[in-house]
């Protein structure tokens, strides 16, 4: 039997009836129509389904949608906007990844961008070791991680500049 779910997704209040076994990933993709969180391993190993749940980076494939009752969920689609809040501009993390050429196939990018946003909220000037730890839950098979680390350093600098 479906149960009511009320939460905020990318700043938008959202209500739906959800089956108890529905993952947050499935809810976001099928009910909300978001394609940023990717369906990868569905075991919490690849990070391509990562979202921020009340500001904490989580693998949405491991969370039941009903566990997010009353929560605020941010997906990569919600990152858009510059420091002035203009949605037609890239967020600093997005701009940095584009400038550094950190994305190749793009499959891991939503999780990488959210892991970066989460890291930079905690530490606006992380070192390389902290950067590598912050993205360790995200698998990338294309870049070898070097451009991603470079992009995160650039994102930190852009964010500090405002």
Domain boundary among 27, 60, 78: 78
This model's pTM is above 0.85: yes
> Which H or E run includes 92?
helix 92-99
pLDDT digits (tens, 9 = 90+) for 128-147: 999 999 999 999 988 889 99
Mean pLDDT of 79-83: 67
Specify whether 113 is located in the same domain as 47: no
Other CB atoms within a 10 A radius of the CB of residue 99 amount to 14
Mean pLDDT of 114-136: 97
Bridge partner residues of 15 (DSSP): 6
Residue 156 has pLDDT above 90, yes or no: yes
Quote the CA–CA distance of 64 and 53 in Å, as a whole number.
Answer: 12
Domain boundary among 78, 104, 124: 78
Quote the CA–CA distance of 88 and 111 in Å, as a whole number.
Answer: 21
Residue 88 has pLDDT above 80, yes or no: no
Bridge partner residues of 13 (DSSP): 8
Q: Can you give the CATH number for the domain in which 129 is found?
A: 1.10.150.120
Residues spanned by the domain of 48: 3-78
Residue 134 DSSP class: H
Specify whether 68 is located in the same domain as 89: no
Tell me what pLDDT residue 1 has. 94
Q: Can you give the CATH number for the domain in which 73 is found?
A: 3.10.20.30
Which residue bears the tokens 């912050």? 134
Quick one: pLDDT band at residue 85, thresholds 50, 70, 90?
low
Other CB atoms within a 10 A radius of the CB of residue 16 amount to 16
The structural domain count of the chain equals: 2
Domain boundary among 78, 101, 123: 78
């Amino acid at each position: 039997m479906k149960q009511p779910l009320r939460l905020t997704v990318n700043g938008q209040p959202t209500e739906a009836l959800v089956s108890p076994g529905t993952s947050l990933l499935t809810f976001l993709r099928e009910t909300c129509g978001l394609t940023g969180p990717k369906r990868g391993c569905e075991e919490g190993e690849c990070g391509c389904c990562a979202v921020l749940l009340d500001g904490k980076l989580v693998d949405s494939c491991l969370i039941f949608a009903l566990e997010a009752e009353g929560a605020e969920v941010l997906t990569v689609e919600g990152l858009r906007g510059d420091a002035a809040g203009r949605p037609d501009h890239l967020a600093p993390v997005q701009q940095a990844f584009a400038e550094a050429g950190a994305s190749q196939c793009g499959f891991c990018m939503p999780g990488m961008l959210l892991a970066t946003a989460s890291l930079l909220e905690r530490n606006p000037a992380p070192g390389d070791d902290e950067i590598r730890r912050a993205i360790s839950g995200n698998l990338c098979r294309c870049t070898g991680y070097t451009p991603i680390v470079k992009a995160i350093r650039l994102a930190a600098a852009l964010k500090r500049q405002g």
